[in-house]
Amino acid sequence: MYAVGVDLGGTKTAAGVVSAAGEVLFSETIPTLNRDGGSAILDATAALVTALIGRARKEGLAVSGVGIGSAGVIDSARGVVVSATDAIQGWAGTALTAGLAARLDLPASSVRAVNDVHAHALGEAWTGAAAGTASSLLVAFGTGVGGSFVVDGRPVLGHRHAGGHVGHFASPHAFHGGVALACVCGGSGHVEAIASGPAVLEAYLRLGGTAPARDARGVFALAGAGDSTAAKAIHASAAAAGQAVGGLANILDPEIVVVSGGLADAGERWWEPMRVALRAELLPALGDLPVVPAALGNAAALVGAARLVLLPLHTSQGSTP
């Protein structure tokens, strides 16, 4: 049995044919038409999936359905985008699964959808860093901060489909001069305001950094060249990330924590202060909690999305169908 897994993000859409063992056999990527509205995005995604199904058919592989990990708040039971940021204009309200099923001439039941971070966590829980565990907490630090708590193969989605927005609770680090830092969600003082990739650059500038840097990658390069302000900004952001993950672990008590995202790929300059802050935050009962980097890279969301079709789960409150 095979399925197509789709990772639909704000800038690019990747899709791949995935086996029943969770192996991505081949994949392709296209730009997301993030300014053209939901219908145009579905048209382009359907064309991408059609090409992959055609290639699979030529190789004698029967594709049974399509799983989608999509940006936005996704009502998985109905397959609808409940809300989305302006990173994808006109995405909110899109009938994601029904629209794609109609374009692919597939039964509605063979197309399933979930939020992209939940898909990422499902992939890691199935064949990645959390394989074989009963529960796992994945937290991703990149352009934003997101997460997913997977229990017995089901990500906890929440009553209103917004579960996993772990970047949007208060952080004692998200202040400057006694004023809470603004968060992209419209609130302030949140984890994402200090621990995301863009927040690293903002912290460098707040601390008086003057060397040219366009993004977090530039700040890391400056730190590597000996810029102490850049090093301080990275340390502050990483420590905030670690404290946040430690607090979440205290609440959820997962079997394992998986950390992913662009910042998690930045090496020990980020990992060391993140790890120290995380361990300092943990309750004594969680002292042996494994904290590991994600293992599947960009394939994780494809694998997790395909799992929705390959290993379908019964619908239950707060979990994926």
pLDDT of 221:
98
Rg over CA atoms, the chain: 20
Task: Please tell me if the domain spanning 2-122 has the same topology as the one spanning 132-295.
Answer: yes
Over the stretch 204-226, which tens digit does the pLDDT of each residue have? 999 999 999 999 999 999 999 99
Q: How confident is the model at residue 312 (pLDDT cuts 50, 70, 90)?
A: confident
Please determine, for residue 175, whether its predicted confidence score (pLDDT) is greater than 60: yes
* Dihedral, 249, 250, 256, 258 alpha carbons, nearest 10: 10
Rounded to an integer, the average pLDDT of 17-37 is 97
Over the stretch 244-299, which tens digit does the pLDDT of each residue have? 999 999 999 999 999 999 999 999 999 999 999 999 999 999 999 999 999 999 99
* Dihedral, 254, 256, 257, 260 alpha carbons, nearest 10: -140
Please determine, for residue 200, whether its predicted confidence score (pLDDT) is greater than 80: yes
pLDDT of 48:
98
pLDDT of 261:
96
pLDDT of 135:
98
Collapsing DSSP to helix, strand or coil, 215 comes out as coil
CA distances from 225 to 206, 211, 270 (A): 20, 11, 15
Rounded to an integer, the average pLDDT of 54-71 is 97
Give percent above pLDDT 90 in the chain.
Answer: 96
Over the stretch 116-147, which tens digit does the pLDDT of each residue have? 999 999 999 999 999 999 999 999 999 999 99
Q: Which is more confidently placed, 144 or 313?
A: 144
Please determine, for residue 228, whether its predicted confidence score (pLDDT) is greater than 90: yes
Domain boundaries, the chain: 2-122, 132-295
Phi/psi of residue 111, nearest 5 degrees:
-125, 120
C-alpha–C-alpha distance, residues 26 and 235, integer Å: 38
Rama region for 37: left / alpha / beta (φ>0; ψ in -120 to 50; rest): left
Residues 6+ away with beta carbon under 8 Å from 318: 156, 157, 158, 159, 163
| Count of CA atoms in the C-beta half-sphere (13 A) of 123 | 31
Q: What is the DSSP pairing of strand 24-31 with strand 111-115?
A: unpaired
Q: Can you identify the CATH homologous superfamily of domain 2-122?
A: ATPase, nucleotide binding domain (3.30.420.40)
Please determine, for residue 6, whether its predicted confidence score (pLDDT) is greater than 90: yes
Please determine, for residue 319, whether its predicted confidence score (pLDDT) is greater than 60: no
Rounded to an integer, the average pLDDT of 12-22 is 98
pLDDT of 317:
39
pLDDT of 313:
59
Rounded to an integer, the average pLDDT of 99-125 is 97
Give percent above pLDDT 70 in the chain.
Answer: 97
- Whole-model pTM: value is 0.94
In which element (H, E) is residue 302 found?
helix 300-310
Q: Which is more confidently placed, 27 or 315?
A: 27
State the fold for domain 132-295.
Answer: Nucleotidyltransferase; domain 5 (3.30.420)
Burial of 19 per CB tally in 10 Å (0-12, 13-18, 19+): middle
3-class DSSP string for 14-54: EEEEEECCCCEEEEEEEECCCCCCHHHHHHHHHHHHHHHHH
